[in-house]
């Protein structure tokens, strides 16, 4: 049954390949990065002569999360080439922003047996590190056949995702048991992986490396300078990593709050670059005083909305804000990382959909640094209260920063597991 399931899955993926190529071309109309290096998604590309450690981070969030480990790998393995693969052009751009030519960046091959065979033959990695839960049956299977250990790092698994995996147990159980090690963020994540069929002796709890986030001092200083240009004494609200539908929520809420706080500025940072122009048009429906970061327009206390339509500057924008509303939490997509603003001492508000970071949001909420609200009306009421109580708001920010600091250390534990696996090769 297992072999039949793997064969059927591979056949379906092969039949879908023309559709996937058409989708790349279609998405490339608005985001040209999808059309660049498209051949790499078929496992094509030049060979790498040095020994390789392969890190797969699907997009921006995973790339930022694993960046501290990559920096350590560069120092620890000077004779190796660190290869980082992504699925999205924004992830690829983030790699180039963070590391330049210190690492090799490519798109990960689609989960096609022949594409992965060709990729592994050209790259010959000694170790594969997959970030969070980007698991593909053929990728793991082909690494196993090639003798490449696979570490699932910073692994998280919500109950919702676990239910999805259970429906395809003929694929997921053998895939999990081909992994060399799962380094889980929390005990609940570890228990879910074991419940799916992963051998308990190959699951360890290392914590979330996102706690080991060290904000770039230059970005923090630039954010503080941006705040001065916005107006040192006016309140600033940021809506970060927003999805379609959430921009409207933030803009309506901001407009409503302006009735009591007329100087309130809004920084709006959409998640996907292909939406930047659309969100800019939307912002102009709420105010004529809108500045786009990408155009380098002057920022001064006279503007109402700053559109963060640039890449790799989210921490800069957080550093300029008093309150952070983290997106993805009002759109059903599970929310984005609340630890980024928390590390900077910025209190966090999120919507009802936080399952991507459930254990972290629960713990940060219990520590006093985060508030979850059920809907738009509750969001407006909560922000009104926070704006009215600056001392309490500052205390929430301190509690958020203290929570992040108290939970650091996962990076060292994960690095130890990487060293242990690499020593076995």
Measure the CA–CA gap between 336 and 340, rounded to whole angstroms: 9
Helix (H), strand (E) counts: the chain: 17, 14
Is residue 149 classed as helix, strand or coil in its secondary structure?
Answer: coil
| φ/ψ of residue 203, rounded to 5 | -125, 125
Encoded tokens for 322? 């008093």
Measure the CA–CA gap between 242 and 246, rounded to whole angstroms: 6
Measure the CA–CA gap between 282 and 328, rounded to whole angstroms: 18
Element housing 114 (H / E): helix 113-123
Q: Tell me the β-bridge partners of 307.
A: 268, 292
- From the list 50, 62, 201, 248, the catalytic residue is 62
Measure the CA–CA gap between 71 and 91, rounded to whole angstroms: 17
Q: Among this protein's residues, is 259 annotated catalytic?
A: no
Task: Return the biggest CA–CA distance within the chain.
Answer: 66
Measure the CA–CA gap between 210 and 78, rounded to whole angstroms: 25
Is residue 396 classed as helix, strand or coil in its secondary structure?
Answer: helix
Measure the CA–CA gap between 265 and 114, rounded to whole angstroms: 52
CA 411 to chain CA centroid, Å, is 16
83 conformational bin, left if phi > 0, alpha if psi -120 to 50, beta if neither: beta
Catalytic residues: 62
């Amino acid at each position: 049954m297992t072999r039949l399931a793997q064969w059927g899955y591979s056949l379906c993926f092969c039949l879908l390949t023309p559709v996937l190529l058409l989708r790349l071309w279609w998405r490339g109309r608005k985001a040209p990065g999808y059309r660049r290096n498209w051949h790499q998604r078929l496992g094509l590309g030049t060979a790498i002569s040095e020994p390789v450690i392969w890190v797969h981070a699907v997009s921006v969030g995973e790339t930022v999360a694993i960046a501290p480990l990559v920096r350590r790998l560069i120092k620890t393995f000077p004779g190796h080439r660190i290869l980082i693969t992504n699925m999205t052009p924004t992830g690829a751009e983030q790699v180039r922003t963070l590391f330049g030519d210190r690492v090799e960046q490519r798109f990960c091959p689609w989960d096609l047996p022949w594409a992965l065979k060709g990729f592994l033959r050209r790259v010959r990695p000694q170790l594969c590190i997959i970030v969070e839960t980007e698991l593909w049956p053929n990728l793991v299977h082909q690494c196993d056949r090639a003798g490449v250990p696979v570490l699932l790092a910073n692994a998280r698994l919500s109950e919702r995702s676990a239910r999805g995996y259970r429906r395809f147990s003929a694929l997921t159980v053998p895939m999990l048991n081909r992994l060399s090690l799962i380094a889980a963020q929390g005990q609940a994540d570890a228990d879910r992986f074991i419940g799916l069929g992963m051998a308990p002796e190959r699951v360890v709890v290392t914590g979330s490396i996102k706690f080991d986030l060290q904000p770039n001092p230059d970005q923090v200083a630039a954010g503080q300078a941006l705040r001065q240009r916005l107006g040192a004494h006016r309140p600033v609200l940021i809506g970060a990593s927003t999805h379609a539908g959430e921009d409207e929520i933030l803009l309506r809420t901001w407009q409503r709050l302006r009735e009591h706080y007329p100087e309130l500025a809004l920084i709006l940072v959409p998640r996907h670059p292909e939406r930047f122009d659309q969100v800019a048009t939307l912002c102009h429906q709420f105010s004529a005083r809108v500045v786009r970061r990408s155009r380098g327009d002057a920022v001064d206390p006279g503007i109402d909305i700053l559109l963060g339509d640039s890449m790799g500057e989210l921490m800069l924008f957080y550093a300029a804000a008093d309150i952070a509303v983290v997106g993805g939490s009002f759109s059903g997509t599970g929310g984005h990382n609340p630890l980024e603003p928390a590390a900077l001492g910025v209190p966090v508000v999120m919507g009802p959909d936080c399952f991507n970071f459930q254990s972290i949001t629960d713990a940060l909420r219990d520590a006093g640094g985060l508030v979850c609200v059920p809907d738009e009306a509750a969001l407006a009421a909560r922000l009104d209260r926070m704006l009215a109580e600056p001392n309490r708001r500052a205390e929430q920010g301190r509690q958020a920063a203290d929570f992040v600091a108290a939970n650091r250390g996962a990076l060292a534990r994960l690095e130890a597991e990487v060293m242990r696996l690499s020593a076995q090769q």
